[in-house]
């Protein structure tokens, strides 16, 4: 059993209250006594008991804000689910989580959501899936610098901001992985079209495409890459674009579906009836996509760990706020999961 605040008090011949004040630098302790207390605490490796901490906080829970966008997409739904689950675990530690969810890609809206959490709800930490905009970046930096609020980014990063850390995929590496898999199934030749939705505010998407293109150029110079851009990452839009693509390019060897709208892509392939010719690699480990892999329409699925993207940000913030424990890493890259017909049974 670790040492407790009571034992430190006894060892130093003072009361618990004094120890508490000394360890939290609240003043009102004679400097030499404070020093002695901190010394003893360090010597015995004092760590506050979390059950005690939680219980004493029961009437004044800590609040953590979560800001997500694109919540209508199935993958972000999974992240949100994981986040809610972890939130209910954290209620054990007397920590409340407040959600602000958006379906749009509007940086102004995101900034105002953050402001609302800070001003109205007095949060002690923020987990955000940031839009790729200076407005958001500046707001994050302001929170960190002027309010000492810990901020973590999830799913998509703003690497130049002053966030504590990032939890999510290395999207560039995911794109490179897709390239290698495409080389394997096509034999390294033919025309491939990545299909990508609007990526202006969504760094993750453009990184996947860049990784794919750069890797194909290196390992399969005989593959011709011809991106298809769609106006919205949504099924009908994706379907129309895929239909046009398949008709315009009958000898297409492969499609790399980078952004949501997967159902639209799959329907278009089925409708044009060349399911057996076009190789297909999809992102996002959602039930519908798993079914397409099982049924043989898609060769591979690239998954990312929704569970970890939802839970780890809250865990890290909670540790930071309660125990002042800084995250060990700057980037917590989640797995780049490769799923095919043979290893998805336990996920369905």
Site for a second copy, rule CB under 8 A: 1-2, 49-52, 54-55, 58, 91-94, 170, 173-174, 176-177, 179-180, 184-185, 215, 331, 333, 335-343, 345-346
Contact 126, 149 (CB under 8 A): yes
Smallest distance, Å, CB 341 to DNA?
A: 47
Helix, strand counts (H, E) of the chain: 13, 13
58-77 positions binding DNA, by CB under 7 A: 58-60
Q: Which does 60 bind (CB under 5 to 8 A by kind): a second copy, DNA, none?
A: DNA
3-state secondary structure of 154: strand
CB of 39 to DNA, least distance (A): 15
By CB under 7 A, the residues from 169 to 228 that bind DNA are: none
From the list a second copy, DNA, none, pick the one residue 335 interacts with, judged by a Cβ distance below 5 to 8 Å according to partner type.
Answer: a second copy
For residue 175, the SS3 value is: helix
Q: Restricting to residues 11-40, which ones interact with DNA according to CB under 7 A?
A: 13-18, 20-21, 23-24, 27-30, 33
55 or 244, CB closer to DNA? 55
User: What are the residues facing 152 on neighbouring strands?
Assistant: 127, 165
What separation in angstroms does the CA of 126 have from each of 190, 204, 271? 46, 20, 45
Q: Please identify which residue in the block is written with the tokens 């954290």.
A: 90
Instruction: Tell the residue number behind the tokens 């739904």, with chain if given.
Output: 77
Whether residue 143 contacts residue 126, with contact meaning beta carbons closer than 8 Å, is answered with yes
Residue 77 binds which one of a second copy, DNA, none, with CB within 5 to 8 A depending on kind?
Answer: none
What's the min distance (Å) between Cβ of 237 and a second copy?
A: 29
Alpha carbon distance 109, 100 (integer Å): 10
**Contact (Cβ atoms closer than 8 angstroms) between residue 74 and residue 284:** yes
Output the 3-class SS for 98-156: EEEECCCCCHHHHHHHHHHHHHHHCCCEEEECCCCCHHHHHHHHHHHHHHCCCEEEECC
Q: What CA–CA distance (Å, rounded) separates 264 from 286?
A: 14
- Partner interacting with residue 176 (select from DNA, a second copy, none; CB below 5-8 Å by kind): a second copy
174 binds, among a second copy, DNA, none (CB under 5 to 8 A by kind): a second copy
Q: How far is the CB of 25 from a second copy (least distance, A)?
A: 25
Among the listed residues 10, 35, 51, 135, the single contact to DNA using CB under 7 A:
51
Residue 33 binding partner per list DNA, a second copy, none, with a CB distance cut-off of 5 to 8 Å that depends on partner kind: DNA
Interface with DNA (CB under 7 A): 1, 4-6, 13-18, 20-21, 23-24, 27-30, 33, 46-49, 51-53, 55-60
């Amino acid at each position: 059993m670790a040492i407790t605040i009571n034992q430190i008090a006894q060892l130093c011949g003072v009361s618990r209250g004094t120890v508490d004040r000394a360890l939290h630098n609240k003043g009102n302790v004679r400097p030499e006594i404070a020093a002695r207390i901190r010394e003893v605490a360090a010597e015995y490796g004092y760590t506050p008991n979390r059950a005690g901490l939680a219980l004493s906080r029961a009437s004044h829970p800590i609040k953590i804000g979560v800001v997500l966008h694109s919540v209508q997409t199935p993958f972000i739904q999974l992240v949100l689910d994981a986040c809610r689950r972890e939130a209910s675990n954290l209620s054990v530690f007397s920590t409340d989580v407040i959600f602000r969810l958006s379906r749009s890609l509007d940086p102004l809206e995101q900034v105002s959501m953050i402001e609302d959490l800070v001003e109205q709800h007095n949060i002690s930490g923020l987990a955000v899936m940031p839009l790729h905009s200076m407005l958001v970046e500046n707001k994050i930096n302001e929170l960190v610098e002027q309010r000492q609020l810990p901020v973590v980014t999830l799913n998509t990063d703003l690497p130049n901001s002053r966030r504590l850390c990032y939890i999510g995929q290395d999207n560039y590496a995911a794109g490179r992985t897709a390239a290698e898999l495409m080389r394997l199934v096509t034999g390294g030749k033919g025309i491939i079209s990545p299909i990508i939705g609007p990526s202006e505010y969504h760094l993750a998407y453009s990184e996947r495409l860049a990784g794919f293109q750069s890797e194909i150029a290196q390992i399969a110079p005989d593959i011709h890459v011809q991106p298809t851009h769609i106006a919205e990452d949504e099924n009908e839009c994706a379907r129309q674009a895929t239909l046009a693509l398949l008709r315009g390019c009958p000898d297409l060897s492969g499609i790399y579906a980078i952004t949501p709208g997967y159902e639209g892509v799959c329907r278009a392939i089925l409708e044009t009836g060349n399911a057996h010719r076009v190789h297909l690699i999809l992102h996002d480990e959602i039930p519908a996509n798993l079914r397409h892999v099982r049924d043989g329409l898609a060769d591979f699925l690239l998954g990312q760990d929704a569970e970890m993207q939802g839970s780890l940000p809250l865990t890290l913030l909670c540790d930071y706020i309660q125990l002042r424990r800084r995250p060990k890493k700057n980037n917590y890259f989640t797995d780049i999961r490769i799923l095919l017909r043979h290893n998805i049974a336990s996920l369905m």
